[in-house]
Amino acid sequence: MDISELVTTAQALVAPGKGILAIDESTGTIAKRFATVNVEPTEQSRCHYRSTLLTTPGLGEHISGAILFDETLRQATPDGQPLVRVMQEQGILPGIKVDKGAHELAGHGGEKVTEGLDGLRERLQEYYALGARFAKWRAVITIGDGIPSSACIEANAHALARYAALCQETGLVPIVEPEVLMDGNHDLDDCFDVTEATLRSLFAQLYDQDVILEGVVLKASMVISGSDCDERADVEEVAQATLTCLLNAVPAAVAGIVFLSGGQGDQEATAHLDAMNRMGEFAWPLSFSYGRALQQQALKTWAAHQDNPEPAQQALAHRAKMNGLAALGEYDPALEK
Ligand code: 13P
């Protein structure tokens, strides 16, 4: 294992003012996103959309890496440029989603465990050869009546740690993503407790599996009120609770923490990240790895102007810039105009 390569990649992913673009929606998820803008989901339309995003001029200024789905790593732009090469030329690290999705956890109604460890070593070796330098595995934890169970938290943490160890063996930086879902009417305190328990379990498992934390990026969900909560916490409260939780549960050696957007509005996700970065300097850089909060506007614009990439690319470049500023604690909502 080349530890210095892992550390260099991990640090590049969270370089100052940069974050990660998540465009790794599975075939089913991208079909749902396309349905919202009335686009037929075909291999060609997915490739056209993702090529449009990845060929955005100057994207590498605020985007350090992009997480792709298996299909995209093998695709080329309509004029024949392999997407991996397009990314490399922009200084954007290619990443790959490697889990096989969240499935019902046996004996635990309403809870899920992420699968995909079988044959993972061989898949990772192929992805590295194709140019990927980091990977992602997402676990989902649901807050509800009597859940999450410790069985669900531990099963997911164990799988994340086994995935992370395999990634490092292959030279890929593992992004470990234990997402506590925003769905539900729980309050900020409930989310805090579940997030803290999940992170503590994850780092215990990473330690057991001898994963090198300097070569890991944590993709965290923010500590936030449930989407159906009657009184939702404001930006300062979310930022403070998230930081307190992370400071309690995430070792300082971790290379960086990037957030998912998880259903937050575009500007809301930017404002939360900015507020945290204004609260001080921490052992780990705090940045973004947004999917929806980077793509929402670009997707709508692309669907409406498929013959002209520029408006969609401008929409993506704008959100990347806003979030790049938030990663430095320098975002100003007036810039949205
Ligand atoms: P969202 O930012 O849309 O939650 O997606 C991030 C992601 O990659 C989830 O795995």
Q: What is the pLDDT of residue 179?
A: 98
- The secondary structure of residue 106, as a DSSP letter, is T
Bridge partners, residue 174, by sequence: 135
Catalytic: 219? yes
Q: Is 274 in the pocket of ligand 1 (CB under 6 A)?
A: no
Q: How many domains would you assign to the chain?
A: 1
Position 319, amino acid: R
Q: What is the pLDDT of residue 227?
A: 97
> What is the CA(293)–ligand 1 centre distance, in A?
8
> What is the CA(95)–ligand 1 centre distance, in A?
14
Question: What residue's CA is closest to ligand 1, atom 9?
Answer: 260
Question: Which CATH number do you get for residue 217?
Answer: 3.20.20.70
Q: What is the pLDDT of residue 247?
A: 98
Catalytic residue among 177, 196, 268, 310: 177
Q: What is the pLDDT of residue 26?
A: 97
H or E stretch at 197: helix 188-208
> What is the CA(220)–ligand 1 centre distance, in A?
10
Q: Is 97 in the pocket of ligand 1 (CB under 6 A)?
A: no
Give the number of other Cβ atoms within 10 Å of residue 198's Cβ: 26
> What is the CA(292)–ligand 1 centre distance, in A?
6
| Chain centre distance of CA 270 | 14
Q: Which residues span the domain enclosing 191? A: 3-336
Q: Which residue in this structure is represented by tokens 């990634």?
A: 167
Question: What residue's CA is closest to ligand 1, atom 10?
Answer: 138
Question: What residue's CA is closest to ligand 1, atom 8?
Answer: 22
Q: Is 138 in the pocket of ligand 1 (CB under 6 A)?
A: yes
Q: What is the pLDDT of residue 1?
A: 84
> What is the CA(294)–ligand 1 centre distance, in A?
10
Q: Is 260 in the pocket of ligand 1 (CB under 6 A)?
A: yes
Q: How many CA atoms lie within 13 A of 134 on its CB side?
A: 34
Q: For residue 170, what are its two tokens?
A: 């292959």
Q: What is the pLDDT of residues 189-226, one digit of tens each?
A: 999 999 999 999 999 999 999 999 999 999 999 999 99
Mutate to test the pocket of ligand 1, among 25, 72, 182, 292 (most ligand atoms within 8 A of CB): 292
Q: What is the pLDDT of residue 266?
A: 98
> What is the CA(170)–ligand 1 centre distance, in A?
24
Catalytic: 32? no
Low-confidence ranges of the chain (pLDDT < 70): none
Q: Is 290 in the pocket of ligand 1 (CB under 6 A)?
A: yes
Q: What is the pLDDT of residue 129?
A: 98
- The secondary structure of residue 63, as a DSSP letter, is E
Q: What is the pLDDT of residue 190?
A: 98
